[in-house]
Amino acid sequence: MGGQKENIDLQELPRHVAIIMDGNGRWAKQKGNRRIFGHRKALKAVREVLEGGVDIGLEFVTLFTFSTENWKRPKAEVHALMELLVKTIRKEVPTLMENNIRLRSIGHIEDLPRRAQRELSTAMDLTKQNDGLVLTLALSYGGRSDILQAVNKVAHQVREGKLNPGAISEADLRAQMSTSYLPDPELMIRTSGEFRISNFLLWELAYAEFYITDKFWPDFAREDLYEAIVSYQNRERRFGMISEQLKTL
């Protein structure tokens, strides 16, 4: 029997899939382990999604890796996460190269430990010529913070006389956001059964289709990605219009 892949219309793929990778700690606790054990096991799910995405031709995948609010977690867990980040980026560069994946990042990267910043910068530089799937890691990222910094940049342009304050457009603001190189996500996946977006891509998710699964992130597999895409393709995306209007477009 075939899996969900055979049900996917490769001509109607979402260009950009954004994922909130939730449930690592709870997955580990269910198994009687420390939370960091779940974070370590989460890497398998990342590989599954990336290799599955490459296989069907996804263009952009953005992973909510560490939020601005995650700094409030216990110091021991944050330290372990940062150490894991350093080791993971270094270890995964060959896999990124093999799959023609370009690595990029959004968020307050300057807040990360310097070793993590260096590893991330090196990995992005090594993969910058890859022209396949673009993988964006949202690190020390918050949607509100990103909108605020964009507003400040637009205000600066107004002060310099480069923008008319009475004619600022959505495009003007969008151009100043860290995600300006990305198309808006058409599909947002969240694991662990939580129904919230947790300050993730607040502007960009305006018309995204949401797919929520009860699975914890370490258990998420390629087949789950494909199931989410099939669900997305079975929906009617109206963008504020009615079905009859869509038929005339």
pLDDT digits (tens, 9 = 90+) for 219-229: 999 999 999 99
Confidence of residue 144 (pLDDT cuts 50, 70, 90): very high
Task: Write out the H or E segment, with its range, that includes residue 55.
Answer: helix 35-56
Q: Please provide the size of the chain in residues.
A: 249
139: β partners = 66
Distance CA(204)–CA(173), nearest Å, equals 12
Q: When comparing pLDDT for 236 and 162, which is higher? A: 162
How many other C-beta atoms are found inside a 10 Å radius of the C-beta of residue 244? 7
Assess whether pLDDT exceeds 70 at residue 1. no
* pLDDT score, position 163: 95
Distance CA(67)–CA(199), nearest Å, equals 8
pLDDT digits (tens, 9 = 90+) for 10-26: 999 999 999 999 998 89
pLDDT digits (tens, 9 = 90+) for 27-65: 999 999 988 888 889 999 999 999 999 999 999 999 999
Distance CA(190)–CA(119), nearest Å, equals 27
The answer to whether residues 225 and 249 touch, using CB atoms and an 8 Å cutoff, is: no
* pLDDT score, position 236: 79
The answer to whether residues 102 and 131 touch, using CB atoms and an 8 Å cutoff, is: yes
**Catalytic residue set:** 22, 70
Assess whether pLDDT exceeds 80 at residue 244. no
How many other C-beta atoms are found inside a 10 Å radius of the C-beta of residue 234? 10
Neighbouring residues of 139: CB distance < 8 A, sequence distance ≥ 6: 65, 66, 85, 105, 106, 107, 108, 109, 112, 120
